[in-house]
Amino acid sequence: MQRFVLGFIVAILVLAAVGLAVVFTGAFNVAASVPHTGLETWVLSTTMRNSVRRHAEGIAVPASIGEDQVREGFAQYRQSCVYCHGGPGVDPADWAQGFTPEPPFLPDTVRRWRPQDLFWIVKNGIKMTAMPAFGGHLDDRQIWGVVGFIQRLPDMPAETYERLGREADQPAQPGGTGAPSSAATPGG
Ligand code: HEC
């Protein structure tokens, strides 16, 4: 029994020494250019999925998200998300492929999540990945608009995404007098 206890203590000390050696010698490679191993990927993605689901518990999903809100969500997506996540007919930026983990192509993955999960992810971001927290500068109503928009991505044709972009770039009142007349919109 005494030998067992002694062996147990030695094992713990060896593990602690290995852990400290990894921290202090720089043996672990933090390069983003080296992908996670299969085991690391499993641990990180399983932890992430379960953490999001647990923390999103109790978030009240609004009965409906207004069209104006969704349109604002699109504007936000085009401004802040598409470079990393891509969109219908739009590839992510080249540099976004340099992140580890690589940002997922949202039109393919968004259906895996409940609306409250999506809200939580956008608001809080995901630690130790490139996914930022947007809760610091978007209010809950704006975040639900983003959620409403990204939930439509899987069914959205590329033409629709492009048209939304064109409409957002155009002045709201084509017949208005105050708009700059040099707008480069042929065939008005
Ligand atoms: C700088 C890059 C970057 C930007 C900008 C960014 N994200 Fe992310 N996002 C990531 C990465 C990386 C992950 C993957 C994290 C992981 O696998 O744990 C992620 C994960 C997600 C997920 C979970 C998807 C899944 O299938 O796991 C959602 C939803 C999401 N982001 C939405 C958004 C929205 C909406 C915006 C804009 C408001 C945004 N992201 C902006 C990098 C980014």
State the DSSP string of 159-182.
HHHHHHHHHHHS-S-TT-SSS-TT
pLDDT of the residue at 174: 59
Instruction: Name the residue with the closest Cα to ligand 1, atom 39.
Output: 81
Q: What angle do CA 140, 141, 145 make, to 5 degrees?
A: 115
pLDDT of the residue at 134: 98
Task: Give the residue ranges of the chain where pLDDT is below 70.
Answer: 172-188
Residue range 168-188, pLDDT digits in tens = 998 766 554 444 444 444 443
Q: Which domains does the chain have, with CATH numbers?
A: 38-169 (1.10.760.10)
Q: How far is the CA of 104 from the centre of ligand 1 (A)?
A: 7
pLDDT of the residue at 187: 40
pLDDT of the residue at 183: 41
Question: CA dist 135 to 23, 118, 123, Å?
Answer: 32, 12, 4
b/e for 108-145, b at 16 or more Cβ within 10 A? eebeebebbbbbbbbbbeeeeeebeebbeebeeebbbb
- Helix then strand then coil, % of the chain, to nearest 5: 60, 0, 40
Instruction: Name the residue with the closest Cα to ligand 1, atom 11.
Output: 103
Question: Quick one: which atom of ligand 1 is closest to the CA of 112?
Answer: 26
Which residue out of 47, 51, 84 has the highest number of ligand 1 atoms within 8 Å of its CB and is therefore the one to mutate? 84
pLDDT of the residue at 180: 45
C-beta of 51 in contact with ligand 1 (< 6 A): no
On whether the pTM is more than 0.85, the answer is yes
Q: Is the peptide bond before 101 cis (omega within 30 degrees of 0)?
A: yes
pLDDT of the residue at 188: 34
C-beta of 104 in contact with ligand 1 (< 6 A): yes
Q: How far is the CA of 96 from the centre of ligand 1 (A)?
A: 11
